[in-house]
Amino acid sequence: VYVSLQPKLPGVSYNFPFESLEMAFVKVIKNKAYFKRFQVKFKRRREGKTDYFARKRLVTQDKNKYNTPKYRFVVRFTNKDITCQVAYAKIEGDVIICAAYAHELPRYGIKVGLTNYAAAYCTGLLLARRLLTKLNLNEIYTGTEEVNGDEYNVESVEGSPGAFRAFLDVGLARTTTGARVFG
C-alpha cells in the first residue's frame, strides 16, 4: 500500500482502509441452543449402510395381514463374494431363514468368476433350492426341467401351499438395467 508522507490538508478526508478497522457484527447461527436440540441420525444412516426410507417400505406389513412375516430376498455384493439371504423383520431384529454365498459355488462346479452376473444367478438359485427344501416345497415346485432360456414364472399349485414370495432387497446398490443384483 502506497501512503504519501505529505502533511494533511485541512478539510480533506484521507480514509484509507487501514485507518478505520472496525469489526463487522457476525451473528452466530449454530449456538449452544442449536446444539442442545440437535438430534443425530441413526447409526447405520451416519455410516451410510442403511437406506431407512427403503427399509421402512420393505419391512412394514399390511395391518390386515396381522402377524404374517414379510419376507425379503436380501442380496449384497462384496469385492470377493455374493451374499443372498431370505429374511423377515421382528422387533428384536431381522430373522434369517436361509442363506447362500458365492464362495460355496466351487462345490457345485463353478470355480472362477464368483462375483459376476452368472455367479449372482447361481447363488440366488442355490438359495431358492435350499429354501424350498427347508419348507418342504421342493417336490411341489420343482422349477424348469430343461434349460432353454425361456422366461419361467412359478404359479401356485391348487390344493397345496402357495408359492413362496419375497421382495428383493438390494440395499444401497443402484438398480440399473442389467445390474448383477437382478441375476
What is residue 71's predicted lDDT score, i.e. its pLDDT?
A: 95
Q: Enter the pTM of the model.
A: 0.75
Using DSSP bridges, classify how beta strands 72-77 and 93-101 pair: parallel, antiparallel or unpaired.
unpaired
Cell of 139: 417336490
How many C-beta atoms lie closer than 10 Å to residue 105's C-beta? 20
Dist. CA 113–CA 108, nearest whole Å: 14
Residue 117 near residue 183, CB atoms below 8 Å: yes
DSSP states along 117-139: HHHHHHHHHHHHHHHHHHTT-TT
Give tens-digit pLDDT for 2-42: 555 555 666 665 555 555 556 678 887 888 888 999 999 99
Least confident of 23-37, 41-55, 75-89, 126-140: 23-37
